[in-house]
Structure 1
Amino acid sequence: MKLTEANTDRLLALKDEVTASYGELKARDLSLNLTRGKPSAEQLDVAESLLALPGEGDHILADGTDVRNYGGGDGISEIRELWAEVLGIPAELVVAGDASSLNIMFDLISWSHTFGNNDSERPWAAEAAEGTVKWICPVPGYDRHFAITETFGYEMVTVPMNEDGPDVDAIRELVKDPQVKGMWVVPVFSNPTGYTVTREVAEALAALETAAPDFRVIWDNAYAVHTLTDEFPEILDIVGIAAAAGNPNRFWAMSSTSKITLAGAGVAFFNSSAENLDWYRKYATIRGIGPNKVNQLAHARYFGNAEGVRAVMRKHSGILGPKFRAVTEILERRGLGDLGVAEWTHPEGGYFISVDVIDGTAKRVVELAKEAGIALTGAGSAYPLKDDPNNRNLRLAPSLPPQEEVEVAMDGVATCMLLAAIEAAEAADAAEAVK
């Protein structure tokens, strides 16, 4: 958003009122946090019964496997079949691992970098030594994704994340470069916009002609069932779509129960082609002796079936939905849209709301909020290297605090956005007067 789009006369007329409101805000000595998309204590309580599962004496699977022992690198069939039902994909193309899918994503890139993947002519590290490995990053996007490719020193090339998914036309041009080895995508309720990739865009990504034979799309379905309404989105079988397009190895698809049951103590899932999974096993069986099968059995017992997963997510929706509605209602009530000060997404799922403020003011909003005792995720965090070229994007995460704290914090954030916009308008007027 540009200052020219704002109603500067109305903004400047509000200066005394907004300045006074900000003074009152600072005087309240708040300590509120909207930084990360963590589940609240109330959400974690939903899975409290998981702590007693699978229970004493319940450790032998139908096939005779004792989950207390080593082995079973693919994870237990009970949880793989259950999750395959949730996602509508073949269970034989699913591997179940530990905790978070970020672990698997890091492994996949690390092993491709060190050894090359099953379609590589040589390790990515060898290519990086002779030039630059490039990675496509839809923005605004997920900061932990960008941190992985940043760690390996890859050049991160941005494309817009539109309402129907990443900009395919831009991607089509970029993948003509053999140095472009992959891209990040959060396909459902993306972080932080809440946008969902359409079938049309998914099919276009699957059919792309890429110069690099080992090009990979990390399809991180972290929020596949995280609805904020009573409706669940369509979940695309992206691996099947890619196979039909003649590119069966293109996608590394991820998901997990991290924000469904107990954060950090969930089950992660990797869905890909049979060839990709064989390549993964080649190194995974050396890295470790097998996942936590006791925890996987506990999850299988807790959910029961795919409908059990959806029943749990309806409970989460009942907790999260009012918080997200409070954020957008406060921004609307404070007139930020009418004044041209901010625009924001209206997600129907996921954990975040993406807000664009007037160009050049996002960092100032975060600074003002911090001074008032409200912690926000750093401006630019949804961009590679935390570099938002317009200094306009903010990611709001209302999940963790109680409802009343979300409302207090957001009213304060709205005041900070208004004050930053007023300061920008005054600076622009002063610059114009000098001319």
Structure 2
Amino acid sequence: MRTQVAIIGAGPAGMFLAHLLARDGIDAIVLERHDREYVEGRVRAGVLEQVTVDLLHGLGLADRLDEQGLVHGGTNLSLDGELFHIDMEGLTDGRTVTVYGQQEVMHDLFEAADERGVRIVWNAREVTIEGADGTAPTVRWREQTGDQYEVRCDFVVGCDGQHGVSRKSIPASVQREFERIYPFGWLGILAEVPPVEDELIYANHERGFALASMRSPTRSRYYIQCDIDEKLEDWSDERFWDELCLRLGPEVGARVVRGPSFEKSIAPLRSFVAEPMRWNRLFLAGDAAHIVPPTGAKGMNLAVSDVAILAEAFVEHYTENSDAGIDNYSSRALARVWKAVRFSWWFTSITHRYPDMDGFDRRMQMAELEYIRGSLPAQRTLAENYVGLPLE
């Protein structure tokens, strides 16, 4: 089998890249170790930056997004129950974010795959990459039947997450890894209840962080900061609702509509970046190269911006016989990645309670949030980063 680009992983990075390449007539194949139901069913991010929304429109895949997505022109911060609003749209010349679950994005990408010539191999196991340091890489895999297959290609793009084969295929002598493990996690639930507010609320309370979010006008997504060794079985729905309402404050908490959760999970928080994002003919994109805490809503959006940059480079290679974009991919993508990592780290640092915080640290958080409340330039900086920096 022969193709121009072999993509490992059918998550957001892999599927966006496959559609972008198909649009420009570049042959590609996507290898995914799970089935579609598994990939589409993973509960993940739900806030799309302007760049991601624009890209879905550019691909002609935004019909359901336009119909079901919740456009937010702002967001809310809360300090010990006192709410204040950030007018993102007004501060960024009309840019917004859209609440539309990752599951819905993946559904749209998968539904359009066949008619657009996007080839996906499901249940591709034991994937290996050979020859990425030469001129003709080969990717091999085994299917559920036990049959072995291989594809020869010009380039391999690893979109297979933190535990995939792609990053592990880059020699340790070439790669540097940067990591920050946060000393807390997020306990989150999904419930079929209307959201407490039309836009998100990021709450800093003396007992810890809380986030009031949503997936639709009738489905709410709520989170509270928790210890990393917490057990789900210790958190009944009643206990979760009580703690959430306490951290959101009496005014907002009194408006929370309670109901049984149908999904509950604890997620650790971590920042991770691997450099470089290219080794010869092997490229990394999305979670294979970087992880950010969910505070800044950057995970899926960073994956999309990675492959938007990479697709542009491949088009330049095949249509203009120029490798300038390919050679600059890693540095260009990493410049954007580190800005997102910085924002996510900063936003986490001013909204969460750290185990070693003393009274001085707490006062610094409060001063930072009070400064944001009273300063339009500070609000503009937050808004510009939250809605997503433009591709450069």
Query: What interval of TM-score do these two structures reach, taking the shorter chain for normalisation?
Result: under 0.3
- Give 1 or 2 for the bigger CA radius of gyration: 1
**More strand by percentage:** 2
Higher relative contact order (CA 8 A, sep 6+): 1
TM (norm. structure 1) is 0.23
**More helix by percentage:** 1
